[in-house]
Amino acid sequence: MPDVMMNDTKAGSSVVPATKAGALRRVVLVLVIAAAAMSLWSQRDQLTLTKLAVHEDTFRQFQTDHPVLVYLIMCAAYVVVTGLSLPGAAAMTLLIGWMFGFWAGFVVVSFSSTAGATAAFLLSRYLFREAIVQRFGDRLDSFNKSLERQGAFYLFTLRLIPAVPFFVINAVMGLTTLPVRTFWWVSQLGMLAGTAVYVYAGSSVPKLQTLADQGVGAVFTATQLLQLFFAFALLGIFPLIVRLLMTRTGRPSS
């Protein structure tokens, strides 16, 4: 009986800190959101399209004067965001497409996203192994079994068909026996389709001065809207096409 009471006490003591930690995270999140909202409200007069267009002209001039520096800053920022699995990679992809245009933006995002994913892969393998095993241990077994059956093709499938979030793929793959070189080139190829669609969407947004002069309706012409719709529809259909091809070639899709 005393042993049972002791176990209950230990269980209760472990639940209470976890509950307090969860409550603390929620409080911190609410405070951060409130602070951000207050900051935006206090600067609302500076967030009009006309004012933002002035800042854009200044930035574009800086970009013209220091192109290499701007490329390096955006690449580094993207690697940090993806390497640390921080939110905002999709928004950064759109921003880079808007800043550099499609082809330059595509190259920047493609190599930066792969570098960031590889950094997350290495952090998982050498620094955060214990924590990741505790969190994703059940998935690790299935990943290893699938890798034994399909090899690198399994990772390529996951990149094409994101049934699992990319940050989970990066973290869990770091705990497998997959070589770093293989992880890099497979990820580079597997993320090309999604990268192209999102960069294209960002590159289709006009200058802010155009928006200020002509209104939000100037963002897309009818042709641009049709092209964007086709691009995102293709991104949605693409995994289904891959599944069909893999089924017909005898490759399992998961």
| Ramachandran sector of residue 101 (left: φ over 0; alpha: ψ -120 to 50; beta: rest) | left
Q: Is residue 44 part of a domain?
A: no
Q: Is residue 36 part of a domain?
A: no
Whole-model pTM? 0.73
Expressed as residue numbers, the domain containing 215 is 65-248
Of the candidates 151, 149, 129, the one whose C-alpha atom is nearest the C-alpha of residue 140 is 129
What is the tally of structural domains in the chain? 1
Q: Is residue 13 part of a domain?
A: no
Q: Is residue 214 part of a domain?
A: yes
The token duo for 112 is 């930066």
Q: Is residue 230 part of a domain?
A: yes
- Tens of pLDDT, residue by residue over 179-190, are 999 999 999 999
Q: Is residue 27 part of a domain?
A: no
Check whether 17 has a pLDDT greater than 60.
no
Check whether 80 has a pLDDT greater than 90.
yes
- Tens of pLDDT, residue by residue over 237-246, are 777 777 777 6
Q: Is residue 30 part of a domain?
A: no
The mean per-residue pLDDT over the stretch 185-211 comes to 85
pLDDT of residue 9: 47
Measured distance CA(82)–CA(78) in Å, rounded: 6
Q: Is residue 16 part of a domain?
A: no
